[in-house]
Structure 1
Amino acid sequence: MIQYALKCAEGHSFDSWFQSASAFDKLVQSGMISCAVCGGPDVEKAIMAPSVRNARKDRDARALSAPASPAEQALVELRNKIEKNSDYVGMNFATEARAMHDGDAPERSIYGEAKIDEARKLLEDGIPVAPLPFTPNRKTN
């Protein structure tokens, strides 16, 4: 695996991992890489320094880096607020949302996952739902 610092034509910077340098090249040539911030298709490698680890540093240095932009920070804060103040219902989201709307379950803040046709049906039936700008963390045992 290789990590590249990338930038788009709009000046947004972000990092991404690739299986190899040739895998990155193939993805760029096929138009499969887009900006993580704006979705723009014009992405290229940014100048970056090699990553050299000091074996004596604390193991916590391997943790993911802090958000790089105000937009990323806002997404982190939104995710934290939703996860703190809502119940994760997983793939039962559509069923739970419908039950609350129909009065069959107590109202509460929920988040989860739904298939696109389930979400569309909820909206068609007047049940207020909105997509999240992130994928929920999967709850596992």
Structure 2
Amino acid sequence: MIVFDLRCTSGHVFEAWFASSTAYADQRAGGRVECPLCGDRQIEKAVMAPQIAAKGNRKPDTPNLPSPDRRSVDPVAIKAALEQLAHAQARMLEKSTWVGTGFADQARAMHEGETPVAPIHGQASLAEAKALVEEGVPVAPLPFPVVPPKLTN
């Protein structure tokens, strides 16, 4: 298999895989290669930057930057940070009222001064959340899911 960066006459660049260079040439000649963005079939190979892996015994050029090596991540520290965040969320929710799927309506009513401002939490669709943000209603997603009160034991 071989991968090519391809470009249409509109300038869209996209990646495509072929069994070989000959397979690419045959498919292009037959009009079977087209731009996934605009459907243009006048396709040419785009300039590609080769991906060459660094030698394993070579030190990084920028030694002061953190290594992207996953082994440098301390899982114990991550777990502790997540636990602290979960406890902070739990403390906030103790002072907040569950409003369920009526969250967007109640948050908007508070923002517009129709009801007293109070800490609430509940459920909102992505579209409802975006609309609230666009309207300037101060809302934020919770970092961890919340189980509705009637579903807990």
Q: TM-score, normalised by structure 2?
A: 0.47
Residue number in structure 1 paired with 2:70: 9
Q: Percent identity?
A: 36
Cα distance, 1:12 vs. partner? Answer: 5.4
Cα distance, 1:103 vs. partner? Answer: 1.1
Residue number in structure 2 paired with 1:137: 147
Cα distance, 1:134 vs. partner? Answer: 0.7
Instruction: Quote the Cα distance in structure 2 between the aligned partners of 1:112 and 1:12.
Output: 33
| 81-90 or 118-127, larger mean C-alpha shift | 81-90
Instruction: From 101, 106, 112, give the equivalent of 1:102.
Output: 112
Residue number in structure 2 paired with 1:87: 97
1:111 match: secondary structure:
strand
1:138 is matched by which residue type in structure 2?
P
Instruction: Quote the Cα distance in structure 1 between the aligned partners of 2:131 and 2:79.
Output: 35
Instruction: Quote the Cα distance in structure 1 between the aligned partners of 2:147 and 2:92.
Output: 11
Residue number in structure 1 paired with 2:133: 123
Instruction: Quote the Cα distance in structure 2 between the aligned partners of 1:133 and 1:82.
Output: 12
Instruction: Quote the Cα distance in structure 2 between the aligned partners of 1:91 and 1:12.
Output: 38
The count of residues paired between Structure 1 and Structure 2 equals 82
Cα distance, 1:9 vs. partner? Answer: 3.0
Gaps of 5+ in 2: 1-68
Cα distance, 1:97 vs. partner? Answer: 0.1
Pick closer, same or farther for the CA change 1:109–1:12 going to 2, 3 Å: same
2:139 is matched by which residue type in structure 1?
V
Gaps of 5+ in 1: 1-7, 15-67
Residue number in structure 1 paired with 2:16: none
Equivalent pair of 2:86/2:144 in contact (CA under 8 Å): no
Residue number in structure 2 paired with 1:62: none
Q: Highest Rg: 1 or 2?
A: 2
Instruction: From 62, 78, 82, give the equivalent of 1:72.
Output: 82
Instruction: Quote the Cα distance in structure 2 between the aligned partners of 1:100 and 1:80.
Output: 23
Instruction: Quote the Cα distance in structure 1 between the aligned partners of 2:122 and 2:85.
Output: 17
**Correspondence list, 1:8-27, <5 A:** 9-10=70-71, 11=73, 13=75
Q: TM-score, normalised by structure 1?
A: 0.51
Residue number in structure 2 paired with 1:22: none
Cα distance, 1:79 vs. partner? Answer: 2.1
